[in-house]
Amino acid sequence: MELNWSKINKVGNSKILKTSYYWLIIIPLFAKLLSGIKDILTFNIFGVEVIIRFSLPFSWQLFYISALLIAIADIIYTYKCPELIKEFKDYNSYQMSGRTALQLRHYALSYTLNETNVMNATRSSLPSDQKELLNQEIYWNLYEYLDALFPKTRLISIGLYALGFILLGIVFYQNMLFVFNQLV
């Protein structure tokens, strides 16, 4: 199964993943704040010794690296995934947006494609039902072409997303183990 831009698009458009940029700022701020404090603070409350650790946990470091990898993958996706793929999942969504064959021509020209077939759809001599079928055929041909562009870049983006998700999974696993150990 080849992972084209349309499949990466489902991950790249995720609102949750867009938060990785925030973590790239928040985690270093916490690290900076905690760097000026002793790693361990011990005090007594009603005769019970309370220990608070202020060092940045290893899981936060992994979380930061995960956010960084996901952010880099997202930057690659944002700049290399063709606009037609990012904006529309199918011809119906393209049509519902009010776009026409002229915009298909723009998409084709932005990737230096031959515009002859795209311009055929703008011929006014065609009946509207034939023009619509031609627009749809041109859309899908262009979509499939753009969907397969930049295979190495897609592979890098997918790899970074995958590595980011693996590290995120490790963080969640570590935290679940910590919680279960505290309960037992």
Rounded to an integer, the average pLDDT of 31-54 is 73
Each residue of 59-109: pLDDT tens digit? 778 888 998 999 999 999 999 999 999 999 899 999 899 887 788 878 877
CB 25 within 8 A of CB 108: no
Find, among 139, 130, 78, the residue nearest to 104 by Cα: 139
Each residue of 92-105: pLDDT tens digit? 999 899 887 788 87
| CA 127/CA 131 separation, integer angstroms | 6
Domain that holds residue 105: 5-183
Residue 74 CB contacts under 8 Å (≥ 6 apart), including other chains? 12, 17, 18, 20
Domain count, the chain: 1
- Of the pLDDT bands very low, low, confident and very high (cuts 50, 70, 90), residue 121 is very low
Higher per-residue pLDDT: 54 or 88: 88
